[in-house]
């Protein structure tokens, strides 16, 4: 789908039946939080996703509904292929909420607390935030790879910025141990 040509959808189709979908960006944020919650089983996540996005509308084809919900969440794009090495996230909608709010207010004069914005529009604007806003600077600090080509002062600065702006480590103990073992024996 093309946002400029087709507009932002306010419903999904499951087996040719139309279902109204909760399209405000807040539902996208809640959906991502739900999908990242390691305390909930996948089947329960899918049930909760249908409740979240479709307000408990009865859906006969459960699997197709989940597929269409993921398609909506991905803004009609194909899922991106993941690299073999699992990378640490460089932003969190939850932990960076204030920075994201400030960036939207500064750049677009949009009040994310007051305004209702379609998820697809939110994502387009989010992805286009300029590097000059504080949120993008923080993401840049988290993402930068410190390497031998940097001066000692640059290395020190970026290490300090990574420490200041680090996200909470939400890996389980087993994941931390596995990542440590992979780093050692890789």
The model's pLDDT over 29-74, given as tens digits with 9 standing for 90+, comes to: 999 999 999 899 999 999 999 999 999 889 999 999 999 999 999 9
Instruction: Give the pLDDT of residue 3.
Output: 87
Residues with Cβ within 8 Å of residue 49, at least 6 apart in sequence: 31, 34, 35, 66, 69
pTM, to two decimals? 0.85
Mean pLDDT in the chain? 90
Question: Using CA of residue 44, residue 45, residue 50, residue 56, what is the dihedral sign?
Answer: positive
Closest CA to 48 of 65, 60, 61: 65
pLDDT of the residue at 172: 62
DSSP 14-68: ETTEEEE---BHHHHHHHHHHHH-TTS-HHHHHHHHHHHHHTT---S-HHHHHHH
Interatomic CA distance for residues 8 and 14, integer angstroms? 17
Stretches in the chain below the pLDDT threshold 70: 80-86, 171-186
């Amino acid at each position: 789908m093309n946002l400029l040509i087709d507009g932002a959808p306010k419903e999904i189709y499951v087996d040719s039946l139309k279902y109204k979908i909760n399209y405000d960006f807040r539902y996208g944020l809640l959906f991502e939080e739900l999908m990242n919650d390691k305390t909930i089983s996948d089947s329960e996540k899918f049930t909760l996703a249908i409740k979240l996005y479709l307000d408990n509308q009865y859906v006969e084809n459960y699997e197709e509904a989940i597929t269409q919900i993921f398609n909506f969440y991905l803004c009609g794009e194909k899922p991106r292929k993941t690299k073999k090495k699992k990378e640490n996230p460089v932003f969190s909608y939850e932990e960076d909420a204030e920075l994201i709010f400030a960036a939207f207010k500064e750049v677009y004069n949009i009040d994310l607390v007051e305004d209702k914005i379609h998820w697809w529009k939110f994502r387009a604007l989010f992805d286009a935030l300029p590097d000059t806003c504080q949120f993008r600077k923080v993401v840049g600090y988290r993402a930068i790879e410190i390497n031998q080509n940097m001066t000692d002062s640059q290395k020190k600065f970026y290490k300090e910025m990574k420490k200041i702006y680090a996200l909470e480590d939400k890996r389980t103990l087993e994941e931390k141990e596995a990542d440590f073992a992979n780093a050692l024996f890789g």
